[in-house]
Amino acid sequence: MKEEILKSLKKDTICVHGSGKRDPLARAVSFPIYQSSTFAFESTRDALEVFDERKPGYVYTRWGNPTIEYLEEMMALLEGGQSALITSSGMAALSTLVFTLAKTGDNIVTQPILYGGSYSFFKGFAPRVGIEARFAQDPVHENIEKLIDERTKLIYIETPANPTLMIVDIAECAKVAKKYGIPLAVDNTFATSYLQNPLSFGADIVLHSATKYINGHADTVGGVLVGSKEFIEKAKKEVLRELGGVIDPFGAWLMIRGLKTLAVRMERHCANAKALAEFLNSHKKVDKVYYPGLPSHKGHEIAKKQMRDFGGMLSFELKGGREAGEKLMDQLKVMILAVSLGDVGTLITHPASSTHRQYSKEELKAFGLSEGLVRVSVGIENTEDLIRDMEQALEKI
């Protein structure tokens, strides 16, 4: 598809058609799975030219694969970036990002409320290789500058943040990042490329756990980085190929298929989450609801500025605390008690004992993460069925 046409297309059309590239052999409507670890050469000269990148071609799936490349093109288009890199998981994307930009003796400025795996990486693993993580309290954009020094190589934010749905002002963080010439990376997993595009607010790199909404069906694992061509090439050649965190072709194809319905899924996720948040917000047994679509949410105005809608994630606290939350989850009939998020089915979990168990009790308290917090990834089921399921569970506690 011609570049001028691509620039005029809306995101829901890009989700379906990508760049318009067809399978060169059969022009299949569904781009095929190149389920091969290695690729043949026509001659020794052909091999040498491909290895030296003097001509296009494929060598080995760890270096590149047509199915994976197709997904990378789709993600770059959806985020408005020059290039993208698909990895074997969201954590592979995070480690690739960090090791591309930082080395022993450097530091990264981030926020304390993050996906538990990301927090564990910054707090536990990164220091083992001599990379320090510095945590800026909310409001993040007002506190990151005081943590920056000459060894700061990355500012990393997550918005909406997991699990409290804290909203971080991307544009304000970008101003600080540009002032010091430091790349700003944004974990866009909760919002997705359909609802939020951090690059348009001044960010340099976007990260996704593609396992979640990008795939949307809880049947494969992957990660995404989107940024400049220069950064992506560096990340691919200097880190991903060496560490080997490459997605398999079938997993990439499942994500291509998932992206085709991203727009319609997100519209339903958002509508259901809004309805469930409003129901919970008015229930006498609920103490607090965290959903950026509620005017009472601390980050509501910023979310309105940088998101097209407020997403499918919410968290809440019951007046009975952790014990009440555990009883509630045990009584649900439709919602599924499971970690992860972004599935077409509604998933509910207790972060303090699952996704965020890496946080100590002291850290949970210091960062405002209640032990009684319940997180819901609201699916695309019938809205009334979800509310009825939550209502009957609330009646039993």
Residues labelled as active-site residues: 62, 115, 187, 212
Could you tell me whether strands 286-290 and 347-349 are parallel, antiparallel, or unpaired per DSSP bridges? Answer: unpaired
- The answer to whether 173 and 140 have CB atoms below 8 angstroms apart is yes
Burial of 31 per CB tally in 10 Å (0-12, 13-18, 19+): buried
Q: State yes or no: cis peptide before 163, omega within 30 of 0.
A: yes
Q: Which one, of 238, 244, 262, lies nearest residue 77 by Cα?
A: 262
Q: Which residue bears the tokens 């992860």?
A: 340
**How far does Cα 139 stand from its chain's mean position?**
21
